[in-house]
Homo-oligomer: A and B are copies of this chain.
Amino acid sequence: MSGRLLSPDELEASLRQIGAERYHSRHPFHKLMYQGNLNRGQLQAWALNRYYYQCRIPVKDATLIARLPTSELRRVWRRRLHDHDGDEPNTGGIARWLRLTDGLGLDRDYVTSMAGLLPITRFAVDAYVEIVRERSILEAIGSCLTELFSPAIIAERVGGMLANYDFVTAETLGYFTPRLDQAPMDAEFALDYVKENARTPEQQAAVLAVLRTKCDILWAMLDGLYLAYVDPRLVPPGAFVPADR
């Protein structure tokens, strides 16, 4: 795996190449979504499952903050807790995601119960938290680098959904607007960190590998949705069954 030492800019190019090949913007489920080819039940399934990811984000971030060695690093990373948990009730990313599930007609108690999750969603998202808990700090920070690629997928998703689904409003999609500023700021910090701190071929290989794994996590979440709700509609025992099919 590990070859010669890359320059910081070569490392960045290799990271961006992984995104070009493996980010879930290339997944057929995403394409169906932004092109207007999903029905309301399929969008519900997506929002319901993605809610679990949103909920685990501050857990992941707090897990990392607990491992960071300096006040400076912890202060920077703490911003993410504010973004996702908010500064007062009904603010922050998780609360905004619930307005999305509301807008799609899902019962809020059902969503927050997590009873209808696809098991694949749970296993994939839990794998993300595990990376941040168990691997090196360099890899934990590197696993967030998918944020480099998120503005493009958000633009495609929001534009496509507003244009193609009459039951989706700008307010329903309010989650995404602040992410267009937050994600690049977060990604820039993480990118600078790994470019400065991955100083051996082995460390660089580890950062590249963890970004591949993080892409796999996001991809697997859409795999689960595709299998259960698009084709061949093989819903695992106990998982959400949409009313609109």
Chain A residues within CB distance 8 Å of chain B? 21-22, 26, 28, 119-120, 122-124, 126-127, 130, 212-213, 215-217, 219-220, 223-224, 226-228, 231-232, 234, 236-238
Contacts and interface: CB of A to CB of B under 8 A. Distances in A.
Contacts of A120: 120, 123-124, 220, 223-224
A231 B124 CA distance: 21
11 contacts: A22-B237, A119-B220, A122-B127, A123-B124, A212-B238, A215-B237, A216-B238, A220-B224, A226-B232, A227-B227, A231-B231
A144 B72 CA distance: 45
Contact of A237 (B123, B219, B236, B238): B219
A28 B126 CA distance: 26
Contacts of A237: 21-22, 26, 215-216, 219
A119 B216 contact: yes
A207 B238 CA distance: 17
Nearest to A26: B237
A232 B226 CA distance: 9
Contacts of A212: 238
A22 B226 contact: no
Contacts of A127: 122-123, 126-127
A245 B98 CA distance: 42
Nearest to A129: B130
Contacts of A122: 127, 216
Contacts of A124: 119-120, 123
Contacts of A226: 227, 232, 234
What 4 pairs between A and B have smallest CB-CB spacing? A119-B216, A123-B123, A227-B227, A123-B127
A216 B124 CA distance: 13
A124 B28 CA distance: 22
A217 B120 CA distance: 8
A227 to B, nearest CB: 4
